[in-house]
Amino acid sequence: MVTLLWIIAVALVISGIYVILARRDLLWGIVLIVLGFLVGPGGVSIFNV
């Protein structure tokens, strides 16, 4: 489960950076990066409620 959370978190952060750089949409990029940090097992995981 931890590996799956890391993969999801990394995918969200990378997609957030892509949205910021390629699409120039700062709000959605920040939202995706924050979601990546929330899902990641190193941060506050939404699955540990």
Long-range contacts (CB closer than 8 Å, 24 or more residues apart) made by 44-48:
45/5, 47/1, 47/5
- Write a three-state SS string for 28-45: HHHHHHHHHHHHCCCCCC
What confidence score (pLDDT) does residue 5 get? Answer: 83
What confidence score (pLDDT) does residue 19 get? Answer: 94
pLDDT in tens, 1-49: 778 888 889 999 999 999 999 999 999 999 999 999 888 766 665 555 5
Specify whether the CB–CB gap between 6 and 39 falls below 8 A. Answer: no
What confidence score (pLDDT) does residue 37 get? Answer: 87
What confidence score (pLDDT) does residue 45 get? Answer: 59
What confidence score (pLDDT) does residue 43 get? Answer: 64
